[in-house]
């Protein structure tokens, strides 16, 4: 992998130089360069640093954190003036990690030994549980997203179609000329690792085969609205809709798949709408589908699906967390691909990957919600490349 430096490196270094003594936490999917970014941060850190990972077959206990903390403290006592940077990778795998970090960090804040702490984690669900239960008010969170089009283009010279098909995992960039090898790498090293290690080892999943089948079903239906009942009909031993909704949330916590809800306001709002399935990285779709780059780019309908999914993934990667909520909208035959809501604003986004397209859904939505700001992507609107090169909402 090229030593391309992502913006998060600058942001974390800037945060570490702040006046307030605070924990710094990077969260994001596997294989998007969190560890590489941490090494780049350490290389630019003016003092000494220690980097340790909890990514082992058997999850370590709290004593592992104590051991690393002691190492950093001894280094600080020996080295003198500059703070020591302690980097703990895959922290969510340590049993009772948040309580242990809270104890040690509070001691550090009282005694000011001279440690700065950077934590890395690849499961948003487990991290959020620990952060909300034990570390309230003690941390700054940085989101390390899947690589976007402009990053893959700059680091590896990819064109738009390559990114739409091969997605944004930098470690796979050198394999795209050998599609079978690329596909095997994504399925074995990425998908299987996340499903088997990040979800099944750390969460109680009564039906692991169902979780896997739900993921595979999602890969075959990118950017499509599927009712839970329809899913039940296609999945073996599917249980009920509550189980499926829960498993979809687990897949979302591992940055794999999100099920967007239908946008409705006020009294019309209801739970249990059919989800619109969005994969967080198009590489997941192409690796599982088994179809070639050339064939998928020549298939007008499928290429449109990949583009629409990539738009949804771009929004999810940039707008995850408060104050943004991402939906879709549909009323009878009328549809809006994506709706972004904040406490003050409402955006309606329609994706047109071809020359023609029906905009009646966008018109109807803006008629029902006059405050909505319409955004047309593709033909006669903002170019898709401009959209993918922008940070949503900030640059619009």
Domain boundaries in the chain?
A: 7-143, 149-389
Asked which of 29-33, 135-139, 201-205 is least confident by mean pLDDT, the reply is 201-205
Which residues fall within 8 angstroms of residue 143, CB to CB, at 6 or more apart?
Answer: 26, 27, 28, 317, 320, 321
Cα(187)–Cα(354) distance, integer angstroms = 30
pLDDT at 125: 61
Name, in order, each residue with C-beta under 8 angstroms of 127's C-beta and a sequence gap of 6 or more. 25, 27, 91, 92, 121
Residue appearing with tokens 């939906």: 327
Quote the CA–CA distance of 219 and 302 in Å, as a whole number: 12
First to last CA, the chain: 32
| Residues in Cβ contact with 170 at an 8 Å cutoff, skipping those fewer than 6 apart | 1, 2, 4, 31, 32, 33, 147, 151, 152, 155, 156
pLDDT in tens, 366-385: 999 999 999 999 888 899 99
Q: What is the pLDDT of residue 390?
A: 85
- Residues 377, 371: Cα–Cα separation, whole Å: 19
Angle at 317 between CA 193 and CA 289, to 5 degrees: 50
Just give the CATH number of 7-143: 3.40.50.300
Written as six digits, the tokens of 9 are 């490196």
User: 317 and 148 in contact (C-beta within 8 Å)?
Assistant: yes
The CA–CA distances, whole Å, from 194 to 58, 122, 329, 351, 367 equal 16, 9, 31, 30, 43
**How far apart are the C-alpha atoms of 87 and 49, rounded to whole Å?**
7
Instruction: Provide CB contacts within 8 A for 58, sequence distance 6+.
Output: none
Q: Is the confidence at residue 105, as pLDDT, over 90?
A: yes
Q: What is the pLDDT of residue 238?
A: 66
- With tokens 């966008």, the residue in question is 362
CA distance 204 to 125: 13
2-24 average pLDDT score: 89
**247 three-state secondary structure:** helix
**C-beta of residue 221 within 8 angstroms of C-beta of residue 261:** no
| pLDDT at residue 1 tops 60 | no
Summarize pLDDT for 14-58 with one digit per residue, the tens: 999 988 889 999 998 888 999 999 999 999 999 999 999 998 878
Reported as a pLDDT band with limits 50, 70 and 90, residue 323 is confident
Residue 71 clears pLDDT 70, i.e. is over it:
yes
Q: What is the DSSP string of 124-168?
A: HHHHHHHHHHH-TTSEEEEE-PPPPHHHHHHHH---HHHHHHH-S
Other C-beta atoms closer than 10 Å to the C-beta of 264 total: 13
Q: Is the pTM of this model over 0.95?
A: no
Helix (H, G, I), strand (E, B) or coil at 188: helix
Q: How many CA atoms lie within 13 A of 61 on its CB side?
A: 1
Can you tell me the distance from the alpha carbon of 382 to that of 310, in angstroms, rounded to the nearest whole number?
15
pLDDT > 50? residue 180: yes
- By the 8 A CB rule, do 369 and 346 touch? yes
């Amino acid at each position: 992998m090229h030593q391309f430096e992502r913006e998060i490196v600058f942001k974390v270094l800037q945060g570490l130089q702040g006046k307030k003594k605070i924990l710094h936490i990077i969260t994001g999917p596997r294989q998007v360069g969190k560890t590489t970014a941490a090494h780049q941060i350490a290389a630019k850190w003016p003092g000494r640093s220690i980097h340790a990972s909890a990514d082992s077959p058997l999850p370590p206990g709290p004593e592992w954190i104590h051991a690393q903390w002691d190492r950093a403290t001894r280094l600080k006592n020996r080295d003198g003036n500059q703070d020591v940077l302690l980097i703990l990778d895959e922290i969510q795998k340590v049993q009772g990690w948040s309580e242990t970090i809270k104890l040690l960090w509070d001691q550090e804040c009282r005694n000011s030994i001279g440690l700065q702490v950077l934590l890395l984690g690849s499961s948003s669900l487990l991290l959020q549980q620990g952060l909300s239960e034990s570390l309230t008010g003690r941390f700054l969170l940085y989101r390390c997203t899947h690589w976007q089009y402009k990053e893959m283009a700059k680091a590896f010279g990819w064109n738009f179609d390559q990114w739409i098909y091969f997605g944004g995992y930098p470690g796979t960039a050198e394999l795209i000329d050998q599609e079978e090898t690329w596909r095997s790498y994504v399925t074995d090293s990425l998908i299987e690792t996340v499903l088997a290690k990040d979800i099944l080892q750390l969460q109680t999943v009564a039906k692991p085969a169902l979780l896997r089948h739900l993921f595979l079903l999602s890969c075959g239906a990118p950017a499509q609205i599927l009712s839970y009942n329809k899913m039940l009909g296609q999945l073996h031993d599917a249980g009920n809709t509550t189980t499926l909704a829960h498993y979809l949330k687990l897949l979302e916590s591992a940055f794999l798949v999100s099920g967007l809800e239908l946008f409705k306001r006020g009294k019309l709002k209801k739970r249990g709408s059919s989800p619109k399935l969005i994969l967080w990285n198009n590489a997941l779709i192409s690796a599982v589908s088994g179809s070639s780059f050339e064939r998928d780019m020549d298939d007008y309908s499928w290429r449109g699906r990949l583009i629409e999914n990539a738009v949804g993934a771009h929004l999810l990667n940039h707008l995850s967390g408060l104050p943004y909520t991402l939906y879709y909208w549909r009323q009878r035959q009328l549809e809006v691909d994506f709706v972004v809501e904040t406490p003050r604003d409402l955006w309606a986004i329609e994706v047109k990957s071809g020359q023609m397209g029906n905009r009646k859904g966008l018109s109807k939505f803006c008629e029902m919600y006059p405050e909505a700001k319409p955004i047309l992507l593709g033909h006669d609107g903002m170019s898709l490349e401009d959209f993918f090169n922008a940070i949503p909402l900030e640059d619009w």
